[in-house]
Amino acid sequence: MENKKLKKRSEIESRFKWAIEDLFPDDIAWKKEFELTKELIDKVSKYQGKLSESADTLLDFYKQKDELSLHLERVYVYANQKYHEDTSESTYQGYSTKANTLAVQMNSSLSFMVPEILSIPEETLNEFLSSNKELKVYEFAIKEIIRQKPHTLSKEMEELIANTGEMADAPSNIFSMFNNADIKFPEIQNEDGDFIEITHGRYSTFLQSSDRRVRKEAFQGIYSTYSRWKNTLAATFAANLKQEAFFAKVRNYPSAMAKELDKSNVPMDVYKNLIEAVHENLPLMHRYVKLRKKLLGLEELHMYDLYTPIVKDVDMKINFEDAKDMVYKGLEPLGENYREILKDGFENGWIDIYENEGKRSGAYSWGAYGTHPYVLLNYQDNLNNVFTLAHEMGHAIHSYYSDAALPITYAGYRTFVAEVASTCNEALLMEYLLGKTEDKKQRAYLINYFLEQFRTTLYRQTMFAEFEMITHQMVLDEKALTADSLCSIYHELNVKYFGDDIIVDSEIDMEWARIPHFYTAFYVYQYATGYSAAIALSRKILNEGKPAVDDYITKFLSGGSSDYPIELLKKAGVDMSTREPVNQALKLFESLLTEMEELMTIPEK
């Protein structure tokens, strides 16, 4: 029997790798820019004590800061993307560490900026802005500093906090090293009898298998491995929550949640409304779970049965070339300009396609201002990975438009809107596939996939958000976060969200230990809010055509962080300060569920 091991990075053909040389031709060039960035840090730090001198001085400072940000971003992204190509490679582990240290040094050197700007009387700042047209570009950034005044500390304290950056990142870095480089999962036999090692990238493919033994063995294999490290992982996770609570307290916030949401000026009610809206609609999820159990013809539905398609005998094995074609055609409603950029990304080295030994798990879009975006994939030949391609290219093209329209100060978009463009692409792709599918069984297969997107993105990410809310509150309440307590909380949430028609296996209690996003506090809720906003935007684009597309591209995709996320979405026609987009999305879920029930004949037991 064949033993299929992952290829080493050197064994992957160059045409399947991203063109990292578009950022730096080689490591020598990176080292030169690293040294230049250190010089720019020194240059910018010399503005300390001078920002109140004149509008021209303040403008010069912002220009120098932009130049520093540009170079640091390039240095940082290259180092970390090279590290992500093979996390076991010590050279790029070192580069990543050096780049992280440099970022901390920059933040430390700029720690005087906010307190110093806040010390300038508002009347004087307004005079500066009105007397200097170039400085006017930075007005939103300056006013945002003023908004954050209650949470800004003295220059000395800001410098001290900036210098704690590497220490504060330690739990996240430890988890990342463990999860990407050190942890090894067992081998299982696939459907053909071949012994294959479980990896992060292969795990989702195993769970979609039609062979229940494969699903169960993959499920047990991955969680039994995490369980062996449960106390270490609990201590690492608890340390991360405690450092978040510490920095929230230092900055005069009542909680880490308040601190994180305030970064984007998102009201706390948005988070709580999401959870409440989903709780009200949990009967729909329970109904879907019940349908899944019946359609699979199982006496007992288990957690490892949640990902296998409930529509059988549909060939949806899709290679990467076909995936690109499907995404290109599916995004036709966004117009030719959008698709020209998409094609450029497909053909000119934006994407690192296949999994290799040591490669960072999952998928992301990243890059540095002034060069094209990059997309990391671990592509497997299935429908889920086609949607991942559409998703990550949505991020990339969002970055492309923002970078083209805005100076570096505003080019980066905030996390609250980060998932909107990516998920809008997925929704448009799904509409395209449903629209061209006449086969009843294939249509049911696609609807099942869409239902799964709602389950995994809106429902599951909200469950993650609730887990975060509970565990962060435990830190505030000075309750112990042990492996047992974390597993108990996670188990009960699964019972609540999935209902009575599924066996909540004890192995799933360890799932919290493998979610990297839990190390970025209060991030995951934005997948659910972003999904809701994306569903609303996709409906506007499909129903209204060019006017909606123009608003979407010019007011949202090109908006970066030039306004608050809630306001950017309002300009595109979606108001996330209300529960309406979440409720609308769940109404679509209900209609899809009803169609699924009508399409499928439920087999007798």
- Give the burial string for 482-499 (b: 16+ CB within 10 Å, else e): ebeebbebbbebbeebbb
List helix spans (H) across 148-267: 155-163, 165-168, 170-177, 200-207, 212-228, 230-250, 256-262
Catalytic residue among 392, 419, 468, 511: 392
Q: What is the mean pLDDT of residues 383-397?
A: 95
For residue 474, what pLDDT is reported? 97
Q: Is the pLDDT of residue 12 over 60?
A: yes
CA-nearest of 541, 574, 569, 554 to 414 is 569
For residue 577, what pLDDT is reported? 85
The share of the chain scoring above pLDDT 70, in percent, equals 99
For residue 601, what pLDDT is reported? 65
Q: pLDDT tens-digit profile of 82-113? A: 999 999 999 999 999 999 999 999 999 999 99
What CA–CA distance (Å, rounded) separates 241 from 231? 15
Q: pLDDT tens-digit profile of 176-204? A: 999 998 999 999 999 999 999 999 989 98
Q: What is the mean pLDDT of residues 116-142?
A: 95
Give the strand pairing for 364-366 and 374-376.
antiparallel
Sheet of strand 195-197: strand arrangement? 3-4, 195-197, 187-189
Ranges of beta strands (E only) in 68-175 are none
What CA–CA distance (Å, rounded) separates 149 from 151? 5
Kindly state the tokens that stand for 573: 């026609």
How many Cα atoms within 13 Å fall on the side-chain side of residue 184?
9
Query: What's the farthest any 2 CA atoms get from each other in the chain?
Result: 81
SS3 97: helix
Q: Is the pLDDT of residue 541 over 70?
A: yes
What CA–CA distance (Å, rounded) separates 266 from 258? 9
Give the strand pairing for 195-197 and 187-189.
antiparallel
Identify the helix (H) or strand (E) that includes residue 496. helix 483-498
Region of residue 148 (phi > 0: left; psi between -120 and 50: alpha; otherwise: beta): alpha
Per-residue pLDDT band at 4 (split at 50, 70, 90): low
Q: Report in angstroms the alpha-carbon separations of 96 from 93, 102, 106, 107, 181.
A: 5, 10, 15, 17, 14
What CA–CA distance (Å, rounded) separates 61 from 57? 6
User: Which residue's structure tokens are 């950022």?
Assistant: 23
Taking the model in full, what pTM does it have? 0.81
For residue 165, what pLDDT is reported? 85
Q: Which residues contact 420 (CB under 8 A, 6 or more apart)?
A: 530, 533, 534, 537, 556, 569
Kindly state the tokens that stand for 336: 């030719």
- The burial of 519, by beta-carbon neighbours within 10 Å (0-12 exposed, 13-18 middle, 19 or more buried), is given as buried
User: Which residue's structure tokens are 């809630």?
Assistant: 566
- DSSP secondary structure letter of residue 182: I
Q: Is the pLDDT of residue 1 over 50?
A: no
Identify the helix (H) or strand (E) that includes residue 86. none
Q: Is the pLDDT of residue 558 over 60?
A: yes
Lowest mean pLDDT among 275-289, 305-319, 403-417, 489-503: 305-319
Q: Is the pLDDT of residue 423 over 80?
A: yes
Q: pLDDT tens-digit profile of 72-85? A: 999 999 999 999 99
What CA–CA distance (Å, rounded) separates 494 from 486? 13
CA-nearest of 398, 401, 404, 396 to 377 is 396
392 included as an active-site residue: yes
Q: What is the mean pLDDT of residues 47-57?
A: 97
Q: pLDDT tens-digit profile of 425-473? A: 999 999 999 999 888 888 898 998 899 889 999 999 999 999 999 999 9
For residue 2, what pLDDT is reported? 42
List helix spans (H) across 254-314: 256-262, 268-280, 282-296
Q: How far is CA 441 from the centre of its chain?
A: 32
- Whether 467 contacts 490, CB under 8 Å: yes
CA-nearest of 397, 390, 400, 334 to 540 is 334
Tell me the residue type at 539.
R
Q: Is the pLDDT of residue 18 over 70?
A: yes
**In the chain, what are the domains?**
3-168 (1.20.140.70)
Mean pLDDT of the chain: 94
Strand partners, 364: 376
User: Would you tell me how many other CB atoms lie within 10 Å of the CB of residue 336?
Assistant: 9
